[in-house]
Amino acid sequence: MAIKSQPRVRVPAQAKAGEIIEIKTLISHEMESGQRKDAAGKTVPRDIINTFQAAFNGKPFFTAEWFPSISANPYQSFFFRAKESGEFTFTWKDDAGAEQKASAKLTVA
């Protein structure tokens, strides 16, 4: 299974060696808290993205664990110290174990 929505990522394409760059990510998701009741009074079951991970050249460097208090369409920004050229992989994982991935290349001059 996969998370249907396409994530969006903002990463600078280039950086200087040693430069700390900011990475911004967004993904569309209801983040159903499991605390809400529908019109019939039935609890809407929890369905959230619970983990986000960022890796560079296959090595994870930042992980966020999200709980039901995280807003719908979760936004996450964080930082990375650029050393060498390579590729970022970003992974979102939901309660059912489904995943969505995005990637971005970085050139270090």
Q: Provide the binding-site residues for other proteins, judged by CB under 8 A.
A: 10, 20-21, 24, 26, 33, 35-37, 39, 56, 59-72, 74-81
Measure Cα distances from 49 to 1, 45, 85 in Å: 13, 13, 29
Q: Which is nearer to other proteins, 20 or 96 (CB)?
A: 20
Beta carbon nearer to other proteins, 45 or 60 = 60
* Closest distance to other proteins from the beta carbon of 67 (Å): 4
Amino acid at 49: I
- Beta carbon nearer to other proteins, 1 or 20: 20
User: What is the C-alpha to C-alpha distance for residues 63 and 59, in angstroms, rounded to an integer?
Assistant: 11
Measured CA to CA in angstroms, residue 79 lies from 21, 22, 66 at distances of 6, 5, 18
Nearer to other proteins, 9 or 99 (CB): 9
Report in angstroms how near the CB of residue 82 gets to other proteins at its nearest: 8
The residue whose two tokens read 């996450």 is 76
| Nearest distance from C-beta of residue 109 to other proteins, angstroms | 17
Specify the amino acid at residue 83: K
